[in-house]
Structure 1
Amino acid sequence: MLGDCENCFGLCCVALPFAASADFAADKNAGKPCANLRTDFRCGIHTRLRKSGFRGCTVYDCFGAGQKVSQVTFGGRDWRQAPETAQLMFDVFPVVRQLHELLWYLSEALTLAPARPVHADLRRALDETERLTLLDAGQLADVDVAAHRQQVNTLLLRTSELVRAKAAAGRKQKDRRGADLMGARLKGADLRGANLRGAYLIAADLSRADLRDADLIGADFRDADLSGADLTGSLFLTQPQLNSAKGDAATKLPPALTRPAHWTREGAPAA
């Protein structure tokens, strides 16, 4: 599930901090509404975020945590009408965001046939993660998200190993987990079944690279060139990762993800 801004109280625009940089045109402290947030909780510059210097907003997604906290955890009471709830709401939001990200990964893992040996464990982890998201606000604030992420990550890693082992079909791939590949020249590279978990691929040239069945969880694709790359079947790729990269109409994507609006049909990033 991805973010539904229509049913959220602009939580990412208030709860989270950002600093003036290439991604944000100004500083903002956590708990302080962004200057562009309107009274109806919508962004006043949504259609021109990149041109206005707020590229960071275009690569963020709460995985549905915003509407969960707004409509379920706090029952539709917003922080303006009920200011006494504001701080707890802002504290809970990033917790639920992490849990919803895990739900995304677990749901994907359960669709992968090679991971069938761990499907039962994945289902239990999914149910437990969903249960945590439905706790009341006070309980959510006390959830040890780091510990839960570690438990889930063990299952996701096993899922990755099972899928990539089948994809490798006798080929050996160098383990690039957490590798510094910033600016790397990987044009046309055969990265099928590669382990790129947490790899730094900032501004890397991955044009026409084959990334089928590659584990991309947590990989940093900021300004990476994915023009013509094949990402079908890649593992744990998210919309925010795609949004931070460059690509074109020839880039092949998993069916659950959409082509970012700033990618042009000609293959160059939008200005």
Structure 2
Amino acid sequence: MANKRTPAASENDRLYGRALAVIRMRQGIPQQRAAERLGVTTQAWQNYEAGLRKSIFTVDGLSRLATALDVDPGLIEQVKGLLKEGVSEAWMSDGAQPLPTSGSEGKVVFFSRRAEPEVPPAEELAPVYGAVFAGKPGAIAFTPDRPDDWKPVHPNQRGYRDPFYLQVHGDSLSPRFEPGELAPAVRGVWPTRGQVCIIETHDGAMLLKYYERRDAQSVWVRELQPEPREFGVHLADIRAVHAVVGGAVS
């Protein structure tokens, strides 16, 4: 009886598999743990990363894979697109590096944390939108249609399409962010584990917290004050999640 040969992966499936590997390494998750979260064997996960299981790369399958990696499903598509454009897989696998984005002319724009930060030209400004009152969600205001001010783009915001600042009013992330300081963020970019993020809710509230993980029901975050605690924000209440990409700005 002839041996069955494993069909070769298509280019599209290989890109999905490589994107999975990049995100898993960025998250610092071993293959075995990712497989356990998904409820499959380590060999099955290895086949996913090799692009050999086309059936997993569906809308539902990608959502399950993203949950196992604690990321938004859109990140898989984002990384897949960057790989297709020729962005280095090894470079993106480093969780200390912010992911590049495509510029307005279709060119990939990079920012390396190892590079000397550039001083942005005077015309490169980011809007200050409302305020983040980290300790009292009910009092947080977000005013994207009425910028309160404009500030020079933070070096870590360069290369992103929608940089903005939010003013910190609470102390739940003290000493990382103190009241009165500005948090430099980028709209719609999903954070990695341990990164500060801003959660925008449907009722206009904003939360400034450390991102921990995401499951099928909630996004789990952490605060430092008045005492360290972790809690979940239900996905149905979330309008958007934005990554904070730099330290406090006065």
TM-score, normalised with respect to structure 2: 0.37
- Higher-helix-fraction structure: 1
The structure with higher relative contact order (CA 8 Å, sep 6+) is: 2
Structure with the higher fraction of residues in strand conformation: 2
